[in-house]
Structure 1
């Protein structure tokens, strides 16, 4: 069994001109790619297996990330099935000079754990052993259903 807090992954990507669109903000496709990679890391920490993206339930782009700022991405597993793993992803725009952050993007990805023959394989049960873990899981479950 793996605890939710053990699946928490945070990472930053500096938005460079080659990541930007003609408005000089991060291209949505780059943000999705970064989120997908961080989400897969969270799913693999949870399962101990290679994980592949099966579904993106929702992708809400709320505001842009300008060139020069970072995309601060947080991911954690909030639910799991037999071989599937649900991961909540939040991206924030971060100005490294001021440390100011604001949420830019939120999404819910589903990954599938696979074995050495690329076939779905079982994953452990998710446990939640802290108040913070309970809070994160509840927020994810509500958001997944559009209640956030």
Structure 2
């Protein structure tokens, strides 16, 4: 196994025709179907990079920017944005294309944290990332920042240390009715 790999070495792309079986009642493709495809391509990209079976540890925010219609081609592209010791962040971009007009739309992007596993389910080291351009530096740095923010979020709202009274003023003006009982 190589000690370092470039993002290009692990890049994966798939294109699939959206069928009626992928749609909801309004003819739009189910978000769950797209998420499934995104998870599959993130797995393929991470496994290609690490040369190990990989599992999804987390999925960063997914915003559905544009609907996907039945009959459109959907292209998913995945590349490694960040490598830790045993984990990788895979950036996934989804675009749709109207076959007759050729119009392309960016439908969503997300970041999947994938962890490499051995045959016994134990975490294994992954090759580091060779960064070749400013875009690669931006993606790696952005992944580091998201990782820091996730750690802060996780510790700030732990049930055993959370104090509701410290956060009540944040709820002012929100669509909520507070009826706390004294405990």
- TM normalised by structure 1 equals 0.88
| Aligned pairs (5 A) from 1:30-109 | 30-109=33-112
- 2:160 aligned residue: none
How far apart, CA to CA, are the structure 1 residues paired with 2:105 and 2:22?
A: 19
Structure 1 gaps of 5+ residues are: none
Partner residue of 2:166? Answer: none
* Alignment RMSD (CA, Å): 1.7
Which has a greater percent of strand? 1
Decide which structure has the larger Cα Rg and report it.
Answer: 2
Q: Give the Å deviation of 1:22.
A: 1.0
TM-score, length of structure 2 as denominator length: 0.72
Say if 1:140 and 1:14 are closer, same or farther in 2 by CA, change over 3 A: farther
Residue 97 of structure 1: how far off its partner (Å): 3.5
Distance 1:140 1:102 in 2: 25
The structure showing larger relative contact order (alpha-carbon pairs under 8 Å, at least 6 residues apart) is 1
Paired residue secondary structure (2:63): strand
| Counterpart contact for 1:91–1:103, Cα < 8 Å | yes
Cα distance in structure 1, aligned partners of 2:75 and 2:66: 14
Paired residues of 2:81 and 2:139 also in contact (CA < 8 A): no
Q: Unaligned regions of 5+ residues in structure 2, if any? A: 147-183
Question: What is the distance in 2 between the residues matched to 1:108 and 1:36?
Answer: 10
Post-superposition offset of 1:140: 6.7
> What secondary structure sits across from 1:59 in the alignment?
coil
Offset of residue 5 of structure 1: 1.3
d(CA) in 2 for partners of 1:65, 1:128: 33
Match of 1:112 in 2: 115
Q: Distance in 2 between matches of 1:113 and 1:77?
A: 13
